[in-house]
Structure 1
Amino acid sequence: MPSSTPRGSMLLLLPIALILAVAAALFAWVGGWLGGHGLTPQNMMDTAEASGKQQPGFRRAHSKGICFAGTFAPTAEAAKLSTARAFSQPSIAVIGRFSASSNNPYAPDGASPVRGMAVQIKTDDGQEWRVAMNSFPFFASSTPQGFQALNEAGLPDPATGKPDPSKMKAVLAAHPEIATFLAWAKSAPRSDSLGNTRFNGVNAFRLTDAQGGQRMVRWSMRPRTPFAAMTAEQAADPNFLSQDLNIRLAAGPLLWDMVVQIAAPGDPITDPSKAWPDTRQEVTIATLSIQRAEAQADGPCRDLNFDPLILPTGIAASDDPILHARSAAYSVSFNRREHEISQGKSAYPTSQNGSAR
């Protein structure tokens, strides 16, 4: 018979506490936080805040953004790859966000070659899928620790006001894959519109079909609008991307085809710094149509956390440590900015109805 004493009650709780401790340890291990020289999502966001002109109430990375609304329509081939409801419902209203990579919400649009697209897909059975992609074809580092080292090396030295070259040299020696990303960032052509930018999901996910078959995939959004290079005049305009987006949408919807690349045996599933060969099988699974855009200050995307681990049945995350680190870091960023907003510290401009957004 169980003891009714406080000591007995505490003993009964011990198995529960043990289970919770094990679960927390597993989460930390999957997220790459243990064995990583003390790296935590809080550390990562602290570094992001120190890297530029962080404004309260804004995201700690990709602070500058534009909300959009549209539809997601799957192809007939999509349902053959996954039981996810998003692939069988005829059309789904979605909201999303375009972004720039800086933590300065007022950074010039041409300052970085990296642009982001995020989409929230909510199906009629109550499930949700949040997709977060960027314009780079592969990630900067194979591990959260390498990415953090890169960001720390980029911080200005208090003595000079500039990054210390010796620190970056040490990072490249320890994480040689980063050099490939830096070379891409230096030479990548920049498009003259968000509407003709390709966005890539560099992390792998597992699709499960109705027969239980599984495939590892990476997805991308490929624009139907032809690529055109950004001009020097556009680069000098700090907000040319949002202005161009509004002009293009006034003429009609912008379309992207969502394509999955299917991994072959031996392809790196847990290393987003390595692209899969272009010869891998590809399947177009949906069309994203964007009909309108609005400023994020009052837009529906502002308070959304586009956590890439919010997934529906039929789609599962890989063990890629970068993917799990992104999820944890996004949570810290979200909590910090929501706290700032709740405390009335947000730097968002006051909307027409008088509320500070």
Structure 2
Amino acid sequence: MPLPDDRAVIETAGNLVKTLKGAFGTPTGYRPAQAHGRLVKGNFTPTAEAASLSTAPHLNNTSTPVVVRFSSSTGIPDIPDTDPNANPRRMAIRFVLSEDGHKHTDIVAHSTPFFPVRTGEGFLQMLGAIGGGTIGKFLEEIPSAAAFVQAPKPFPSSFATEKYYGLNAFKLVSDNGDGTYSETYLFDELPERLSKGPASFKLLAQVAEEGDSTDDATKHWPESRRLVDLGTIEVDSVEEETGSKKEQQRIIFDPVPRVEGIEPSADPLLDMRAAVYLISGKERRAAPGLEQRHEMAKVS
């Protein structure tokens, strides 16, 4: 996963990582925006129609292993599931395309179809407005940001029953209810649910038509656009807590597909998100191991 060639993108991405960590007081070794998460594993089975749309290996193979990370918003590692700031939730999916795991392609999706701004620079300005106490004026001037803030973000009953949205466009290339919950109810419920059987997710692609924007994540396509069933993701096991934390510190999900048969759009958020994730991931990998951090905490 390389950094983009654009130095301005890299600079903005670095500032976003720094600003997000500062806003949340994110400890060393954790993600700046989705610090609280858990890994699960499973498989993806494509439909016949998926192969007709793209030559991507995971859309043509009989089955592909997946690693999925469910997470909550903010850079606070122990944010309660009941905290409104933990919404929206995220589902990051890694399709493992080689036995050694080095070849892969990812999808990063959120439990809301809204995104506040079109560019990374815009998101940095929004964070500055929050910190500077001028967010009200910012929301007045940027309708997409207001729509994101005002959109309902209900608490899910389970990570496994939530609906997740990919925010960016890609080109598929072919060969031709109320309740009372504990503070960790989502993460507590997940292993219990999967012990009884796998959780399934449909992977759907919405097909653009003439005039639909493919380079602006804040613009929604009409609901009448055709949905294509690409296949089913089944997750059936939860990583052990210790192993999961080690792997979460190491794994870097990539919003850019980087696989034959799927090409990125001109959406400027793609390279920006990829740079943010890579910079954050390198910082996590360079941080002391979790066990070492725990020992340092005990000593201090």
Normalising by structure 1, we get a TM-score of 0.75
Which structure has the bigger radius of gyration?
1
- Aligned partners of 2:221, 2:105: CA distance in 1, in Å? 24
Counterparts in 2 of 1:172-211, with a 5 A limit? 172-184=139-151, 187-211=152-176
Residue number in structure 2 paired with 1:135: 111
1:115 deviation in Å?
0.5
1:121 deviation in Å?
0.8
Work out whether 1:28 is the aligned partner of 2:12: no
The structure-2 alpha-carbon separation of the partners of 1:348 and 1:175, relative to structure 1 and needing over 3 Å to count, comes to: farther
Q: Deviations over 1:113-134 (max 9, x none)?
A: 2101111112259742111111
How many equivalent residue pairs? 289
Residue number in structure 2 paired with 1:8: none
Q: In the alignment, is the contact (CA less than 8 A) between 2:50 and 2:59 conserved in 1? A: yes
- Aligned partners of 2:32, 2:153: CA distance in 1, in Å? 24
Q: What runs of 5+ residues in structure 1 fail to find an aligned partner?
A: 1-23, 158-163, 212-228, 351-357
- Aligned partners of 1:332, 1:230: CA distance in 2, in Å? 39
Residue number in structure 2 paired with 1:170: 137
1:345 deviation in Å?
6.5
The structure-2 alpha-carbon separation of the partners of 1:281 and 1:73, relative to structure 1 and needing over 3 Å to count, comes to: same
1:175 deviation in Å?
2.2
The structure-2 alpha-carbon separation of the partners of 1:343 and 1:281, relative to structure 1 and needing over 3 Å to count, comes to: closer
- Aligned partners of 2:239, 2:225: CA distance in 1, in Å? 37
The structure-2 alpha-carbon separation of the partners of 1:139 and 1:295, relative to structure 1 and needing over 3 Å to count, comes to: farther
Work out whether 1:48 is the aligned partner of 2:20: yes
- Aligned partners of 1:116, 1:335: CA distance in 2, in Å? 21
Instruction: Name the SS for the 2:43 alignment partner.
Output: strand
Work out whether 1:114 is the aligned partner of 2:88: yes
The structure-2 alpha-carbon separation of the partners of 1:77 and 1:274, relative to structure 1 and needing over 3 Å to count, comes to: same
Q: Deviations over 1:241-269 (max 9, x none)?
A: 01111121111100001000001111111
Instruction: Name the SS for the 2:269 alignment partner.
Output: helix
- Higher relative contact order at CA 8 Å, sep ≥6: structure 1 or structure 2? 2
Which contiguous aligned blocks of 4+ residues in structure 1 show a shift greater than 3 angstroms?
Answer: 124-127, 342-350
Instruction: Name the SS for the 1:283 alignment partner.
Output: strand
Residue number in structure 1 paired with 2:226: 281
- Root-mean-square deviation (Å): 2.4
Counterparts in 2 of 1:140-289, with a 5 A limit? 140-155=116-131, 164=133, 167-184=134-151, 187-211=152-176, 229=177, 231=179, 233-234=180-181, 237-289=182-234
The structure-2 alpha-carbon separation of the partners of 1:193 and 1:172, relative to structure 1 and needing over 3 Å to count, comes to: same
Q: What runs of 5+ residues in structure 2 fail to find an aligned partner?
A: none
Which structure has more helix as a fraction of its residues?
Answer: 2
Instruction: Name the SS for the 1:329 alignment partner.
Output: helix
